[in-house]
Amino acid sequence: MITADTNVLVYVSDDAAPLKQRVAVQVMRRLSERRQPIGLQVVGELQNVLRRKLGHAPAVAATAARDVLQSFDVFPPTETAADEALTLMAAGRLSYWDALLVVSAGEAGVSTVLSEDMQDGARFGGVEIINPFAADGLSARARKVLEL
């Protein structure tokens, strides 16, 4: 299974980055077609970033987050995932929120997290990070995993 980090979903709404926006739309469409899950924390982070960084009105940000909830199955973080995320964060390997997503994804059976924010090719347990963005569009590694 494959999931996307918050940054991919944010680019869907980011008109200031048209190339990344096109890639993000393509990625999210493919994840939806393949019925891939999204981390529940990503839904909360999405509305927060849309409001605070992109300046969207709270109602607009809430609608975008609800659209994700309606379009995708979600996996929640568990207490065990939170504890493991704290360990990864304390070791300096990831931020707490990135670690929580990676660990929660692994618990949900996800093997790939598409993210611009974590190191491309990094592995955490059975979860690999792939940056979907390349200078000219969708990265070759993302294209392969998404079967495009």
Residue 84 near residue 67 (C-beta atoms within 8 A): no
Would you state the pLDDT for residue 39? 98
pTM of the model: 0.95
Amino acid at 110: V
Q: Is the pLDDT of residue 60 over 90?
A: yes
Residue 60 is part of a domain; what is its CATH number?
3.40.50.1010
Q: Provide the percentage of residues in the chain whose pLDDT is more than 70.
A: 100
Residue 82 near residue 100 (C-beta atoms within 8 A): yes
For 4-50, write each residue's pLDDT tens digit.
999 999 999 999 999 999 999 999 999 999 999 999 999 999 999 99
Buried b (16+ CB within 10 A) or exposed e, 2-41: bbbbbbbbbbbbbeeeeebbebbebbbebbeeeebbbbbb
Q: Is the pLDDT of residue 53 over 90?
A: yes
Structural domain of 100:
2-145
Q: Is the pLDDT of residue 93 over 90?
A: no
Residue 29 three-state SS: helix
* Domain total in the chain: 1
Would you state the pLDDT for residue 135? 95
What does the pLDDT average to over 86-106? 96
Q: Is the pLDDT of residue 65 over 90?
A: yes
Would you state the pLDDT for residue 55? 95
Side-chain half-sphere exposure of 35, counting CA atoms within 13 A: 0
For 129-142, write each residue's pLDDT tens digit.
999 999 999 999 99
Side-chain half-sphere exposure of 87, counting CA atoms within 13 A: 9
- Confidence class for position 148, pLDDT limits 50, 70, 90: confident
